Structures are given as structure tokens and as C-alpha cells.
Amino acid sequence: MTVRALFRAAVVDGTPPPHNTLHLKVFYPAQLIGGDREQNLGIVSANAEQAPFPVVILFNGINCGPELYQWLAIALAERGLVAVTFSWVAENLPGMVALTPGVDLAMLMPERYGQGPTASALPALLNELEQLNNAGVLAGLLDLNRVILGGHSAGGRVAIESVSPAFFPSVCAAFAYGAHTAAVMQLGYPAGKILPLPDQLPLLLMGGTQDGVIANSCDRYGVTWERATTPVERTFREAIQGGRDDSYLLLLEGANHFSFVDPFDATTGRAFVDFPATQPDAALRELMAEAIGLFVEAHGGGSHPEAREALVKRLGAPQPLIAHFERR
């Protein structure tokens, strides 16, 4: 499988410059066919035989560069999907300029939470996907009724909080690693509160038993977590009702907060508060990519009972890298 990528830029409406521009990298299944454009410009055609392509949008953690998720974007493109990473430098908090997934703080406030998406970059991303579907190597090849949101850490949180047909009709599922919906007390919430999710579409929540970033951030929520995975588990059990058998909890044995990135970058973010991983990161990422790929095949639009069975069989079997698997 040949995977190629192209770059785009998009403006976020309502955000003042210079912090109003997203830079996208769009990975797609490609096909080398020769010709001047390919030879001289490196413009490689998409493999139209696999189209239309569902689209996965990957939201990065705060101060985690989009290149840290290229491993997953390539793995998804190899499965016949289009995957989008993006970079956005913005001032989400007063006086703090950072690389952000786009967190709409206004929609996290108690009086507004649940009334709209918290992913402030998503409207611009969806608009740019429409433009890509109109012209260029991906013209007419994107299935924009099958958009899956995914992310890591804060990016995972905005992904799972924004996956509702009431917010974006084109979005059909979401996944997250190292993310939860514990409420920040500084915003006016009581200690230990888990905020509800839209709970209308398929969901995959993943966490690592060695997540030191989550374990060392509990003061924000006014509690001390029993385990590093406690807020992820509580989000799965309290933020959704379940009952549709399309929501999953996957806890990875020995994975830490940054097992989800490659290459590891200690120069930004809060990697210094993480715990050491006790399992090989490459093996953990391979399992994560497989789990996400199977989840997207099972729930990325339409009914696919065989893919659902394959997902449950693969993740439900006893194995050293899986601490717990559950479906609701």
C-alpha cells in the first residue's frame, strides 16, 4: 500500500490573526501511475479503487506536534481511510500561546456544557475537507458522511465531546486515548464530577495503566484517583448510558500517557510527570492502531456485524497488553 500526503491551510472564523490559521496534513491511499505531475511535482493520484474514503480527523494533545501522530495516520491510510492531522498555534488561555487541538472554553462552562461542540477547530476542518472533495487528487473521493473524530489527551476529550449528529451530521464515531470528562473545579464544578457525553454515536475509550499525566493531574478535579485509569473508567461508566453495544473501553497494560505518540518529544508538553511505560511502546502502538482500525471498520458508518464481531474477538481475548476490555 502506497500512502501519500498533501498539505492545506484553513482559517478559523472569529479568531484574530496571527492565531487564526490551521495547517493540515492529509494522508491518503495512493497509486503510482507515472506522468509529469508525479515525476516533477510529487503529486501522486489517489487509489480511486478504494474510494469513497471515510475520513479520520486526529486531534493532538496540547503542545504535542501533529507529526507525533503520523504513525497512526499512515496505519489508517493503509486500511483505506483518509487521515487528517493539523497544527494550530493559538492563545486558548489568556497569556498562554500553545500548540492546541482547539478547546472552546466557553462550551466547557457549567451553563453551556453539552449544548455544542468543544472542538473549536472542527468547523474549519470540515469546511476544508469539502474543498478537498471539490478539487485536486481527492476530488469526489471522500465520504464526508463518514467522518470519525479521534485524539490524544485534550485532543481526545474534544473529539468525544463533539461527536453528536446535532452538532455535526457528518460525524459518525469517535475514539480517544488518555482522555476523560472529569470536570475542572476552576470552571465552577464540584469535586470529582464526570461530565456527560452526547452518547448518540459509537465510542472507543482507551487508557494506559501507567498514565502518569492523568495520575498527577487529579488536583484539578479535587480528587485523588485510585488508579491512573480511574477517570477514563468513570467516563465510560458515568458519561454514557450504554445499551447499544457500540461503546468500548480498552485499558492497555503498561502504557503511559505518551505511549500514543511516536517519536517521543520531551521538549514540550508535560512528559516529565508521566510514569515509565512497562511494555514496549511499539507493540502498544501496533495494538492501538489495530483496535482503532477495527473500530472504524465496525462503526465508521453503516452496519457491519462481522467487523463488530472481529473487534470484540480481537480485544476480548486474554493477552498481556490488555488489562481490561469492556463493551456497553
Reported as half-sphere exposure (CB side, CA atoms, 13 A), residue 21 has a value of: 6
Q: Measured between alpha carbons, how far is 215 from 226 in angstroms, rounded to an integer?
A: 9
303: confidence class by pLDDT, cuts 50, 70, 90:
low
Q: State pLDDT tens for residues 93-124.
A: 778 899 999 999 999 999 999 999 999 999 99
Cβ contacts of 220 within 8 Å, gap of 6 or more:
182, 184, 185, 186
User: Does position 36 have pLDDT exceeding 90, yes or no?
Assistant: no
What pLDDT score does 250 carry?
Answer: 98
In the chain the first and final C-alpha atoms are separated, in Å, by: 34
What pLDDT score does 269 carry?
Answer: 84
Domain enclosing residue 318, as ranges:
2-327
Of 55, 48, 60, 61, the C-alpha closest to 83 is 55
Residue 292, number of CB atoms within 10 A of its CB: 24
Q: State pLDDT tens for residues 226-256.
A: 999 999 999 999 999 999 999 999 999 999 9
Mean pLDDT of the chain: 95
CATH number at residue 190: 3.40.50.1820
> What value does the mean pLDDT take over residues 48-63?
95
> What value does the mean pLDDT take over residues 62-84?
97
> What percent of the chain shows pLDDT beyond 70?
99
Q: Measured between alpha carbons, how far is 19 from 21 in angstroms, rounded to an integer?
A: 6
Q: DSSP labels for 57-110?
A: EEEPPTT--GGGGHHHHHHHHTTT-EEEEEE-EEEEETTEEEE-S-B-GGGGST
**What is the domain count for the chain?**
1
User: Does position 200 have pLDDT exceeding 70, yes or no?
Assistant: yes
Q: Measured between alpha carbons, how far is 162 from 179 in angstroms, rounded to an integer?
A: 13
Cell of 77: 491510510
What pLDDT score does 39 carry?
Answer: 75
- Would you mind telling me the total number of residues written for the chain in this entry? 328
